[in-house]
Structure 1
Amino acid sequence: MRKWLLPLIPIFALALPSRGEETNAPAGERIALPPAYKNFRVIGLSQRSDDQSLRAILGNDVAVEAARAGKTNPWPNGAILAKLVWKQKQSAQFPAATIPDAFSSVAFMIKDDAKYAATAGWGWGEWVGLQQKPYDKAGFARECVACHSTVKDQDWVFTRPGELP
């Protein structure tokens, strides 16, 4: 190997897309925080009127490829969906615009039919605030499945990817 390449190896390693590797998983039913999620791409947006929040739904490469191909029912194993949540507010400069306010949380769904068979084929996790404090409520994954049961015919996913040109 050429000596000038050695310093670049760590940079290239950081640029590799995440395929859902899980490390340092907390005890119990929780997943680990996917380390490369900040490099995921947007696949959908949503606004919730019940808690006045804005959400950007991101996906890893597996999820993005599935969304673009229209193959999301079911989502493929290895897909990771990330939901970044902000409180919302009206823009002072442009009152017709709703903009993000304080960051609330990031939640994940990791598709693996075998590993997460007990929770509808998905691993579930949430981290709160800018500090990304794990949300460690007992029974969290089962609670997620119960809420998402209304969309079990959509592979337990509320998000409908937006069309891209």
Structure 2
Amino acid sequence: MRKQILLIILVIAITVISPIQSKALTCVEVKEPAIDYYDVAIFGTIVKVKTDIEQKGFTGPKEWKKYVLVDVEKSWKKEADSQLIFEADYASSDNFEQGKKYVLYLDEKDGAYYSSSPCTPDILVNSSSDYEQLGKGLEPVNQVNLSYKMLFMNDKDIDLGITIVIIAILFIIIWRWIRVKSLKKST
């Protein structure tokens, strides 16, 4: 009985001292029109969603980011090129389906677009009435092809593989050099 009481006290003490913390996401309701809260709104088709690893230096911390390539048909508040890549919030980017049309509300920083949160009121478009409230919209001015940029995005950590290959090559070169020297000494 005494061991059980001590065990219960220990469990309670551990839970009180180091509680498991969880963070909940709450979205603030955006009043209409939603476009007033964002730098640009675009209507287009999702071409590709891809994960990329960004790392500062060879041993710096790694950050996984999701990027979305969109064929832009219309934009509001700013002119957009015919294709656009934006950094999606990691939590909400799984909601984007390739080949589907969306109205996306994006922010811009240093010439790069990004979706600011999973609470962004992005809309899967079924008909033109889903975005008529935004107005006429602007057609893309510049015809660009950004799909090649998505080719270089990689969610695999290749630093370790490259390091192992370099060490293996150096090991083979040194081993052969030592072997050739030892064969020359013996003759």
Using structure 2 for the length normalisation, give the TM-score: 0.29
Using structure 1 for the length normalisation, give the TM-score: 0.32
- Tell which structure's C-alpha radius of gyration is larger: 2
Greater helix content: 2
